Structure formats: C-alpha cells, structure tokens
Structure 1
Amino acid sequence: MNVKILVAAHKQFPMPSEAELYLPILVGATKNYKQGINYQRDDEGTNISDKNPNYNELTAIYWAWKNLDEADAIGLVHYRRLLSTKRHGGFKSILTKQQVEQLLQQCDVILPRKRHYYIESNYSHYIHAHHEEPLNLTKKVIEKHYPEYLDSFNKVMDKRSAHMFNMFVMKKQYFDSYCVWLFDILQRVENSLDISGYTKQEARVFGYLSELLMDVWIYKNHINYTECYWQQIGSKHMIKKVFYFICRKFGMSFGKTHF
C-alpha cells in the first residue's frame, strides 16, 4: 500500500527515519518556516495554511486531503506524539509501514487508544478547559445540517473517554469522507463564531472541536477501527497540566499556556 502518515510540526525536530511512510509537514508554513527546515509545507497547493493559528494540525490534514491524490491511506501524528506498539520506547517502537499495512488488512481506520476522563464527561471536560460557546454552536450546526449525526454527538459528549489529538491512519475513501464532513462543519461554526476576544491559546478552537468530532463520525458511520498505543516524545509536563486543570475547574484563566 501507498501509505503516508504526516508528522505535523511547527519547528525542526527529530523525525521518524522511515521516509517511505512518514512525511514531516510544516504547519503554518509561511509564518513558521526557517532556513534549513526541509519538510513538506502546508502552504503549497490547495491549502488553508493561514488558518493554522485557529485550526492547529488540521491545516496538515486539509493539505493531505487536497494534495495527496495517489495515497491508499493517509494518517496524521505529531512531532511529539506518535502511534506505537507500546507506551514507551521512543522511535524504536513507533509503527512501521509493515505494521500499518497489517493493521489495515483487519480494519479501515487506526486510532490511538482512548484518553479517559474519570471524573468528567467529554462535554464537561471541554467546557472546563475551553469556551463553551463553540461547542454549543457545533451542536447547532449538526442539528441543522447533519441531523442524522445528532444522536452520536450527544452520546460522545456524555462519554468519559475519547480518541484525542487528531491522530489516525485512514484508508483513503474514509479519509476523504471524513474531511468533507469535518471541514464543512468547522467552516459553518467559524462563520458564526466571533473569536476576536479569545486568547492565543483559545483561538485554536477549531482544532479543539475536531478532537471530539472524530468520534462522532466514527460512531455514526460504524467505522471498523482498531486502536494502538501512542507515546509522547520528551517531557509530558504532567505537574503543569494538573495545575492548570485545577485552575480551570475554579474558573481561573491563563491565556498563554503551552504543553
């Protein structure tokens, strides 16, 4: 199979060595390019690279949707988060082309193992971490334009776990279908949402929304998927994450937190 897994990055960073499988892509390329970064740019061909401050890694997904016509399957990981065969092990344990092909013989989509929120639902976790309005607007868009997805949306919001990070590998026909649906919803939300007063962190709103929309699409369409481990390269900043989570629970806001 011709499989391409994009590795979204905004700066130079060690990359997986299997070039036939992994394609480093510089997101927000016009702004983030520095001499010597020889990654695929997300501002070439048909693209939404200029929306990167609001769409995060979705600008890489959009670029692949519009420009990788010959691929049999397309995926996305992050320069610091990678799909793998175990929780640890660094680059030695990330998925190889052979392993990806074997998994895709059994399913249509590969996802990272779910992230669990044991004391909150997906909805309550989102609104404690971000502004509530965008998520409510998303529901209204689905009610009006994709009513057949509303039941799945409500069920995902009530769950206490989700496939996060916008990480996946999909056979091309499923990838195309997902992108048509996802970007139409996000564009409609964007047209109705004023983010001019949002902090830099909260302005990344459409990337945050898409993390929950993934499961809505998966469940509604009864997608045959499998899960694998994912691992983070480098520090996880767990103490800082817990601190900001507690602060958000008590209504305190921090405009420029980066994990």
Structure 2
Amino acid sequence: MKTVIMVVAHKKFPMPDKKGYLPILVGAVKNYRTGIEYQRDDEGENISAKNPNYNELTAVYWAWKNLKDVDAVGLVHYRRFLFASKPYKLSNVISIDKVEKLLSKYDVILPKKRNYYIESNYSHYIHAHHQEPVDTTREVIKKEYPQYLAKFDQVMKIRKAHMFNMFIMRRDAFESYCTFMFGVLNKVENQIDITNYSVQEKRVFGYLSELLMDVWLETKAFTYTELNWGQLGGKNNVKKAISLVERKIGIKTKTHFK
C-alpha cells in the first residue's frame, strides 16, 4: 500500500522527517520563494490561482488530478497534525505504518470532532461568516445532489463537526469525496458574488468544505475512525472562546487563529 499525506504550507516551515509525508506549497505562484523545495500546487491540472478562496483545497485538487499512483491520500497542515499518542510535537506525528494499519480496517481517518457546545454548526457558520454562501450551498445540494440533502440538514443542526479539512482516505473514498465536494463548491462559486468580501471571508470555499465533509461521510456511509490532533505552538483556546461569545452578540471578529 502506498500512502501520501500532504503537509500544506504557504511558506517554508519545519516538516516531518518521516516516510510518506509530502510538503506541498499552496498558492505557489504567489508564495514561492527561493529555497522552498516543496511540491507545488500549480503543476499539472490545478486550481492554484484560486488559493485565496479555496485555501488548502488547492492541494486537495492537485492530488485528486495528479497524484494517481497512490492507494491513500491525506492532508494535514504545517502546524496542525494527526497523532496516535502524545506528546504533540513534529517528531511524533503518526507514522505511515500506523496509518496503513488503520486503513486496513477503515476507509477514512479524521481528526476528532470539534464541539461548539452552545450553537449548531449552522449558527456557528452564520455568526462567523456571511450567510449567503451556506444557504446557497443548501440550494445547490437540494437541486443538484438531492441524495445529500437530508444529511446536510442534519449536520447543520448538530453541534459537532470534523473540521480543518484534515483527513486520510483510501483512494476510492478520496475520489468520491472530491467529486462531491468540488462539484458543490464549483456550483456555489458560480452563484455568489464575493467581490466585496474581506480577505478572510474570501476564503469562503475552504470554510464551506469543512461542513461538507460530514455531509459526504454520513451520506456515503464510508467507515471511519478518529485521531487526536495537535497544533504545534499550542491552541489559542482563550481567544477562540472570546471570539465565539463576541460573534454570538453580533460583533464580527476573527474565526481562525494561528
């Protein structure tokens, strides 16, 4: 079994020194600097130019269209990884051997769900971002992908979700996921105008895809397991908690913290 886990970055950063991890530079035309010897997301068939709107999904698209000689594909972030055990440090990210052992039993590996406690996934989205994109997403699914609508509505009502666009999938699951996710996002992109969105809010399709993961997973009924995730440099839990309360009372604030 051949497994590749992409480590998405927009700049040079310490990377895992382990078999199977592939550093990939997203938004490569803009972000490349001398000395960054990563795989670029602008080679072959790609949507690299859409990185300001699609975030790490430009790496996912690159793998979908170009990384054909592998049995499993994964994505993590340059500061956020999956771990089988503590401590959460670069030298202890999950090994490919452990990943492949899990993939012999499950189709998909995901980070543990994020719990929003006081609000649903839909409420969290519309308090953090513009409402039109998520409502348009529902309309697209209702019209073009009706078999996914029941699970979309269900996911919007609950308070937990697999976030961050992080995953490791067997190839058949990966193909299914990309076909659905990029199909929906392309249609939403053609129906909304983000010209006047802030730089952060123009990352809209990356935000929407976080919600689509569970919609796809629950509809297709692929088997999955969860791993702990850790953020190198620590998590800004206090800032996130304050931001959540501010958004609930109508104060627009950051939703993503480094």
Query: What residue is the counterpart of 2:7 in the other structure?
Result: 7
State how far apart, in whole Å, the 2-side matches of 1:17 and 1:163 are: 26
Shift of 1:173: 1.2
Shift of 1:255: 7.3
Shift of 1:258: 4.5
SS at match of 1:174: helix
Query: What residue is the counterpart of 1:173 in the other structure?
Result: 172
Amino acid at match of 1:7: V
State how far apart, in whole Å, the 1-side matches of 2:117 and 2:105 are: 30
Per-residue CA deviations over 1:142-170 (Å, capped at 9, x if unaligned) read 00000010000001111110111010011
Shift of 1:88: 3.4
1:133 aligns with 2:132: yes
Name stretches of at least 5 consecutive residues in structure 2 with no aligned partner.
none
Shift of 1:252: 1.9
TM-score of the superposition, structure 2-length normalised? 0.96
State the identity %.
57
Query: What residue is the counterpart of 2:222 in the other structure?
Result: 223
Query: What residue is the counterpart of 2:93 in the other structure?
Result: 94
1:233 aligns with 2:232: yes
Amino acid at match of 1:148: Q
State how far apart, in whole Å, the 2-side matches of 1:235 and 1:131 are: 28
8 A Cα contact 1:58 1:207, kept in partner: yes
State how far apart, in whole Å, the 2-side matches of 1:32 and 1:246 are: 34
State how far apart, in whole Å, the 1-side matches of 2:221 and 2:255 are: 38
Query: What residue is the counterpart of 2:206 in the other structure?
Result: 207
- Give RMSD over aligned pairs: 1.4
State how far apart, in whole Å, the 2-side matches of 1:252 and 1:159 are: 23
State how far apart, in whole Å, the 2-side matches of 1:82 and 1:118 are: 23
Shift of 1:247: 2.2
Query: What residue is the counterpart of 1:17 in the other structure?
Result: 17
8 A Cα contact 1:200 1:256, kept in partner: no
Shift of 1:235: 3.4
- Given the superposition, is the C-alpha separation of residues 223 and 39 from structure 1 closer, same or farther in structure 2, using an over 3 Å criterion? same
Shift of 1:12: 0.8
Amino acid at match of 2:235: K
8 A Cα contact 1:201 1:256, kept in partner: no
Query: What residue is the counterpart of 1:71 in the other structure?
Result: 70
8 A Cα contact 2:72 2:168, kept in partner: yes
SS at match of 1:192: coil
Amino acid at match of 1:10: H
Name stretches of at least 5 consecutive residues in structure 1 with no aligned partner.
none
1:244 aligns with 2:240: no
Report the count of equivalent residues: 258
TM-score of the superposition, structure 1-length normalised? 0.96
